């Protein structure tokens, strides 16, 4: 299964200046330019701030009243063209303007068997829903010792970067970004570049599973990694009995993935990265139609495939947990909030409350990662306040979904 990406951040330095200038002039043009220019600072002469220069120029051209339509239409044309250019390079689309996800380069041939005792290392970033899948399966299977992790954070140029130190987060044991524990690199691109087989100039994406001895990328496709964590490392797992993809449910799992991946997991990105109104309309329609279908299904079924938690649930969860805090606002997935779907919200809480799952959900890292990094969608980089109902306390409230399992069991007993 292929997956979607964030795109690398553009450095805001060039284009954001124009936007700040628009805002400055449109909404704050009564601020005296002379005052700004004559300001002295205690630290001696400094270069004038670009905002001040732009507001001076516009004031000279148009005076201090609200800017005329010309200013707005000029900036609109410039911004639209820059935006189209950025989007076409960073979020490739088809001829209708629909986002098309690039394929992952390093795939596992599943079922993947490992010779001897492989030393593996997992690279992730906390905002990324695809990487989040691997953290959840790793936690549920008890693979933390068998597969150590390094957590990168988004850097200013859009690449994944490591911090020099990892500060332990004592706050509910939530994962936090830190250093590269396997290779000591400054960024993920550096790790990809260490491949013994030769460098790599493609996208340095997370999640990435690194084969320490071979010095090779074992895989950078999330679904392959979670299938492998589920069944390929049972000799090393603390919870080998948990099977998130039992044989008898494989067909159902595939069916759900086939609907949820294009319409929900990738669907939210297709809303956010749409480059035409038609592309957005079709993505948002597919997204909410699918959420309605899943909402109805979850009225009588504890998980997607019945009473058993599967990989399909893990994949749905990482999109749902980001829905109200990110996708609803930034990606214009606005028809409804997730909290308005009682069954989906109960299902989300059910999974959030499973041991060790909450620790994989770092809400501030997720929000920063999207609002501060996806520059073309949020040029001001201002992060909205966390919507109520999305914080840890709200997600820890009772969900009562066990009763669905019990109800199903009772039905089964009375039928037989």
Ligand X SMILES: N[C@@H](CCC(=O)N[C@@H](CS)C(=O)NCC(=O)O)C(=O)O
Residues of this chain that bind ligand X (CB under 6 A):
2-8, 104, 128, 130, 203-207, 220-222
Tokens of 340: 């308005």
Contacts 24+ apart (CB under 8 A), 161-166: 161/186, 161/187, 161/188, 162/186, 162/187, 162/188
Residue 316, both tokens: 């749905």
Distance, in Å, from the CA atom of 123 to the CA atom of 134, rounded to the nearest integer, reads: 10
Q: What are phi and psi of 211, to 5 degrees?
A: -90, 105
> Quick one: tokens of 266?
């990738």
Q: Contact at 8 Å (CB) between 91 and 158?
A: no
Nearer to ligand X, 217 or 348 (CB): 217
- What DSSP assignment string belongs to 397-408? S---THHHHHHH
3-state secondary structure 258-307: HHHHHHHHHHHHHHHCCCCHHHHHHHHHHHHHHHHHHHHHCCCCCECCEC
Among residues 221 and 227, whose Cβ is nearest to ligand X? 221
Give buried/exposed letters for 264-302 (b at 16+ CB in 10 A, else e): bbbbbbbbbbbbeeebbebbbebbbebbeebbeebeebb
Supply the DSSP string of 318-373, one letter for each residue: HHHHHIIIIIHHHT---S--GGG-HHHHHHHHHHHTSTTTGGG--HHHHHHHHHTT
Tokens at 27, concatenated: 């909404």
Closest by CA to 316, choosing from 304, 307, 299, 325, is: 304
Q: In what order do the strands lie in the sheet with 216-219?
A: 160-161, 149-154, 120-125, 208-211, 216-219
Question: Judged by CB, which is closer to ligand X: 220, or 301?
Answer: 220
- Phi, psi for 64 (deg, rounded to 5): -95, 5
Residue 370 a catalytic site member = no
Residue from 192, 223, 261, 269 carrying the catalytic annotation: 269
Annotation says 128 is catalytic? yes
Q: Identify the helix (H) or strand (E) that includes residue 231.
A: helix 222-231
Nearer to ligand X, 129 or 379 (CB): 129
Q: Which is nearer to ligand X, 3 or 231 (CB)?
A: 3
Residue among 99, 123, 128, 390 flagged as catalytic: 128
Nearer to ligand X, 221 or 324 (CB): 221
Asked if residue 120 lies in contact with residue 134, where contact means CB atoms within 8 angstroms, the answer is no
Cα–Cα distances in angstroms (integers) from residue 165 to residues 144, 168, 185, in the given order: 20, 9, 12
Closer Cβ to ligand X, 4 or 357, answer by number: 4
In whole angstroms, the minimum distance from the beta carbon of 59 to ligand X comes to 40
Instruction: Report the length, in residues, of the chain.
Output: 416
Closer residue to ligand X in complex, CB, 5/263: 5
Q: Hey, which residues are catalytic here? A: 128, 269
């Amino acid at each position: 299964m292929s997956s979607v990406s964030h795109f690398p951040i553009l450095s805001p330095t060039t284009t954001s200046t124009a936007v700040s200038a628009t805002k400055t002039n449109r909404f704050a043009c009564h601020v005296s330019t002379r005052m700004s220019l004559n300001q002295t600072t205690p630290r001696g002469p400094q270069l004038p701030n670009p905002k001040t220069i732009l507001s001076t120029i516009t004031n000279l051209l148009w005076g201090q009243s609200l800017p005329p339509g010309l200013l707005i239409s000029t900036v609109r044309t410039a911004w639209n063209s820059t935006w189209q250019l950025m989007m076409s390079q960073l979020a490739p689309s088809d001829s209708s303007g629909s986002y098309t996800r690039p394929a992952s380069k390093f795939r596992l041939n599943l079922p993947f068997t490992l010779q001897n005792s492989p030393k593996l290392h997992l690279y992730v970033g906390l905002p990324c829903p695809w990487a989040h899948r691997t953290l959840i399966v790793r936690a549920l299977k008890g693979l933390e010792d068998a597969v150590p992790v390094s957590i990168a954070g988004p850097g200013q140029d859009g690449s994944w970067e490591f911090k020099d130190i990892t500060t332990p987060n004592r706050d509910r044991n939530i994962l936090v970004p830190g250093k590269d524990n396997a290779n000591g690199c400054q960024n993920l691109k550096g790790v990809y570049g260490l491949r013994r087989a030769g460098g790599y100039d493609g996208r340095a994406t997370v999640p990435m599973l690194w084969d320490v001895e071979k010095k090779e990328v074992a895989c950078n496709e999330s679904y392959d990694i979670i299938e492998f964590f589920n069944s390929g490392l049972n000799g090393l797992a603390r919870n080998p009995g948990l099977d998130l993809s039992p044989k008898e449910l494989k067909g159902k799992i595939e069916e759900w993935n086939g609907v949820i991946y294009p319409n929900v997991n990738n669907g939210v990105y297709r809303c956010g990265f749409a480059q035409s109104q038609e592309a957005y309309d079709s993505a948002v329609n597919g997204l909410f139609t699918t959420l309605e279908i899943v909402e109805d299904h979850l009225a009588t079924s504890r998980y997607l495939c019945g009473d058993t938690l599967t990989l399909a649930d893990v994949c749905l969860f990482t999109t749902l947990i980001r829905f109200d805090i990110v996708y609803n606002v930034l990606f214009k997935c606005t028809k409804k909030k997730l909290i308005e779907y009682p069954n989906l919200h109960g299902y989300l809480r059910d999974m959030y409350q499973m041991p060790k799952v909450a620790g994989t959900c770092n809400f501030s890292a997720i929000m920063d990662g999207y609002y501060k990094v996806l520059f073309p969608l949020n040029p001001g980089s201002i992060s909205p306040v966390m919507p109520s109902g999305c914080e840890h306390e709200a997600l820890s409230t009772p969900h009562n979904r066990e009763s669905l399992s019990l109800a199903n069991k009772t039905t089964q007993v009375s039928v037989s």
